[in-house]
Amino acid sequence: MEVYIDILFLENIVMNYMILWVTARFSKAGTSSLRLFLGALVGAVYVVVLILFPGIKVYYTTMAKVILSALMVAISFSIENFRRYFKILAIFYVSTFIFAGAAFSFLYLNKTGGFVKNGVFYVYWQSSKWTFMIFSILTVVIIGRIFWEEIQSRLIKDKLIVRLKVAFENKIADMSALIDTGNSLHDPLTNMPVVIVEFLALKDILPFEIQSIFENSKENDLSSVTDIVSKSNWFSRFRLIPFNSLGKENGMLIGFKPDYIELEENEEKKGVENVIIGIYNRSLSKNAKYRALLSPELIS
């Protein structure tokens, strides 16, 4: 059997990238396309080394593969702490198992030849490798979407939705908020937790000059934002908050210090003053069940 190293290398980059991308979607970890590519590249190089140097037995050990996956995750994502790192690593393994299951299912249904040797999976050349890859990717995307929607639905059913009131200059905005375990955002100046809220949910309590930023979609124009905020009477209450999200590093949210926020859960109310509101100019929920994301530390 002939093995084409260039094709094998390219296939592994594509598959590794998709696995890391799915991991990013589920973990909500900060990353970028470049970092995902570099992580995928490391995994592909490892496979090529296995093929070119079959005599180096240490590369075939379970420990070597665990180290490889740990390295891929470390390269691909912004890691805040060890707990967060191991959570992302666990999601990476689950994503890998889903891809592997989809691949073997396709082989079974399509009666395509293939085998595993030294931890490397081969598909016979006469079968269409690219059809195999595309089918596997589509299967994982569909399965992942179904599972993600089910997980989100269960989270909401488990009463992770609370009532949130934001008070600013004698005005109050009232909305539903989701307790989001992935929201660990803090204001770098004060270290206060940041509550992410949709602009439209806050619009009526914001100063007109701040409203204009979002109505004209200028929230990503740093020079315009800085100019408008610096001239506002509420300059001392507003600030810029850096954040990382999937596909976007070094992003910036416009935030402000409210008079206070009030959280209501199971008819119990809790007031919080040391908090920052981050304004988001898009919808946070497709079904509009919540319009804000809360850090769990605000509830405890």
Bridge pairing between strands 260-265 and 248-256: unpaired
Contact 277, 256 (CB under 8 A): yes
Which runs of consecutive H residues, i.e. helices, occur in 158-279?
199-202, 208-215, 222-230
- What does the buried/exposed string (b/e) look like for 24-38 if buried means 16 or more CB atoms within 10 Å of the residue's CB? bbbbbbbbbeebbbe
Structure tokens at 280: 């988001």
Catalytic annotation, residues = 180
C-alpha closest to that of 35 among 16, 50, 49, 59: 16
Bridge pairing between strands 171-179 and 292-294: parallel
Partnered with residue 161 across adjacent β-strands are 178
